[in-house]
Every structure is written in C-alpha cells, then in structure tokens.
Homo-oligomer: A and B are copies of this chain.
Amino acid sequence: MAVVGRAASRSAANGPASLQDMRRQNLAVVLAAVAAHSPLSRADVSGRVGLTRAAVSSLVDELIGRGAVTEAAATASGRVGRPGRALTVSGEGPAGLGLEIGVGHLGACVADLRGEPRLWRRVERANAGRPPGTVLAELAALAAEAEAEAAALGLRVEGRVLAVPGVVPNEPRGLVERAPNLGWHTVGIADHWPEPETAPEPENEANLGALAEYWNAGTPVETFVHVSAGAGIGAALVIDGRLFRGARGFAGELGHVPVHPEGPECACGARGCLEQYAGEAAVLREAGLAQDGPGDPVALLAERAANGHAPTLAALDRAGRALGLALTSAVDLIDPDGLVLGGAYAELADWLLPSVCAELAARVTVRPWAAEALRPSALGRRGPLLGAALTTIRRIMADPTLLPAG
C-alpha cells in the first residue's frame, strides 16, 4: 500500500475532472482545515471552508472512516447552543516512515498524521565506499525495527521515503544516479531492498531538508532557497510551497556556480566554483585543518571559530563572501522570499551570516532586499530525515483517499 500518489492534478489540460476528483479535493480541504485549527467542530469547518454543514458531515465521516480524523469527547464550550463535537487529526493510525543514509550513519524516523515525529533511530555506520546492497540491507533492518516500534505506538506506516546525499533524477523514479560521498553510481533502491514492495522512494537530502523547513515553519515562506552544505553544496528551491526539482531533477546545483571565473580549478573541470571557497574541504584546508581528521569536522570548525582561531575565522569569512556571491545570482534569478542556511551551514551560521549578508546587501541593489530574509535553518541536520517522514504525511493530507477506507 505504498502511498506513491502522483502529483495532484495541476493543470487543466492534464485530464478531465470527475466527481471523485471533487470529492478528493474536498476531503483534503476539510482535513487541512482541521489540521490548521483543531479542535474544530463540523460547523466550524463548514464556516471556515465554505461548504455546507451537510457536506462537511459527509466528508468528516469519510475521513474518520479512513482513520485520518478522530472525534474527541464533547467539550464544555461554555457558549450557548448545542456543543460541537471536537475533531482532530488522528495521532494514531496512518504514519510516514523517513529513512536516511549519511556518510557516517543510518537513520529512521516515524511521523504521525499530525506531523509529529514519534520516534527517531540512528546508528553510526561508516557508509562511504560500502556496497549499496550491504548498506540497504542494514537500513531495511533498521526500517523494520522502526515500523515494529511504530506499530506498538498504534502507528501504521503508509509510505517510505529515503533521504540520500546524492542526485535523484526525475525519471526513472527510485534511482540514485550518483552519490559521490557514498561512492554510489546508478543504484536502484528497490533492486537491493529485501522486500521490493516496501522499498522506500529516494529523494535528495537537501530537498527533503528544505521541505521539512517549509512544513515545519510557523509562518511558512512560500518561495525560498534552502542552501545546505554537506560534502557538497546543494540548494533546494521551494517555489510557491512546492519543491522545484528542475527539468531532470538536477536543480539547485549551487556548488558549481562560478563565483570567481578565473579562480582555482575544481574537480568538476571548471574554475572558481563555489565549492572551491565554501565547500567543506576548502574551508578545512583554508583553516589549516586536516580534512580527514578524527571527529566531526563541522563541530571542530565551530569550536575553533568560537575560540577566535584566526585562520578559521578567515576561512569562514572567505566562504561566506563566496556564498553571498553565489546567492546574489540566486536572488537575482529567483526573487525568493527567503534564504535558509541549512545542513552544516546552520551550525556555522554565526560566523558565516555576516559576510554572506554583507555581500548580498552590496550586490542586490535593484530590488527590495531584507536582511531578515536570510536565516539559519531551525532544524539543522535533522531536517532531511524529518522531511522524508513528512513527505508521506503531506501526500496523505493532499489526498486522503490514499488511505484505505474503513
């Protein structure tokens, strides 16, 4: 019962609309209203979304039948009239499983329909260079454990999404085209999964981090660029609240934007790419640190910066200016409402933000540009895993008929 829903019918030219489509959308509308303002009575929902109480009643009945909504006990409202029955998004039943493969760990997370992460699992593993089959077998075991534990909490996993530090093309789905830090090339996830029918759908970790940031924000910005540094530098573009993957799925390759055209040669063959200034390896080198030293290099950088270590501060300043330069291009092209620094950048934001901000302020002059638009990620490195778990949740919210009828 993979919740692999197609994208919601976007354009009018796609195909004819049916009564079922109408019903589907209205179920989603009601569910969204309950999610946004619960607890809500049927009458409240009716007044809020514009459907009649009769229609809302029918829709709510179906949502309850599918396990998406639960009816709480009657509340003493204190107001005149018959009290409404409080509706909430169900905290049991349907759930989403997020999985993650990092260079140094495997992770799992289960989120309920309310969007709350209900359990986290993480095991340290040096995955770089290991065969995909081995890694995925271990991950499948971790996933099975997580699903079992979730079942004990009354949660039933309806969909599985896997965050990978690599490129996931639009077509064909289910493929990791390359993940340099893992040493993967053209790995079909389902091909290595013990039970192919429960194989997770891979997605780039930076993209999932950006979506998590969006879904998790109190007052979400609809159009923003989410920059996240791991070994490479990736940008995820969220446009009008939806992830933009580009024509082939390669959008957001910020790491190889040219910032100094005549600069040092990059592994990609070009010169002066952003990665040569703001990539992890470049910053470590510039800061005089060994690249493959023990421990978490990002934490080490943060520690040295906090201690006022001059080479580290200089390296971060240099990185920030280069990043600001690359983001100037992004702002000029995309006109986003926000810029979010995620991944490792979030932990280094204190030392990066000033120079990024200064560069942007100096170069983005032909349009209104607010420094507040630039901020570090609130989720940091947990973002991708949470985003993976929430992907299934948001799909169900957008189309509750993906859930089996009661």
Residue A354, interface by CB 8 Å: no
Bound CA span A83–B368, Å: 61
Bound CA span A31–B364, Å: 44
By the criterion of a CB under 8 Å from any partner CB, how many residues of chain A are at the interface?
Answer: 95
A253 surroundings in chain B (CB, below 8 A)? 332-333, 335, 366-367
Residue A10, interface by CB 8 Å: yes
A13 surroundings in chain B (CB, below 8 A)? 28-29, 32, 241, 398
A36 contacts which of B5, B9, B397 (Cβ < 8 Å)?
A: B5
Bound CA span A22–B48, Å: 22
Residue A362, interface by CB 8 Å: yes
Residue A73, interface by CB 8 Å: no
A365 surroundings in chain B (CB, below 8 A)? 256, 268-270
Report whether B329 and A326 are in contact in the complex, using a CB–CB cutoff of 8 Å.
yes
A2 surroundings in chain B (CB, below 8 A)? 115, 218
Report whether A50 and B116 are in contact in the complex, using a CB–CB cutoff of 8 Å.
no
Bound CA span A115–B5, Å: 9
Report A171-220 residues with CB < 8 Å from chain B CB: 215-218, 220
Report whether B9 and A8 are in contact in the complex, using a CB–CB cutoff of 8 Å.
yes
A10 contacts which of B15, B242, B326 (Cβ < 8 Å)?
A: B242
**Which of the 9-residue segments A157-165, A243-251, A297-305 touches chain B?**
A243-251
Report whether A362 and B3 are in contact in the complex, using a CB–CB cutoff of 8 Å.
no
Residue A325, interface by CB 8 Å: yes
Report A11-51 residues with CB < 8 Å from chain B CB: 11-13, 15-19, 21-22, 24-26, 28-29, 31-32, 35-36, 49-51
A363 contacts which of B9, B220, B252, B258 (Cβ < 8 Å)?
A: B258
12 example contacts (A-B, Cβ-Cβ < 8 A) are as follows: A3-B115, A4-B36, A9-B394, A12-B25, A13-B29, A13-B32, A16-B49, A248-B367, A252-B335, A254-B333, A259-B261, A326-B329
9 extra A-B contacts, CB within 8 A, seeds A6-B32, A246-B335, A326-B329: A4-B393, A4-B397, A5-B35, A5-B36, A6-B36, A9-B11, A10-B241, A16-B26, A222-B247
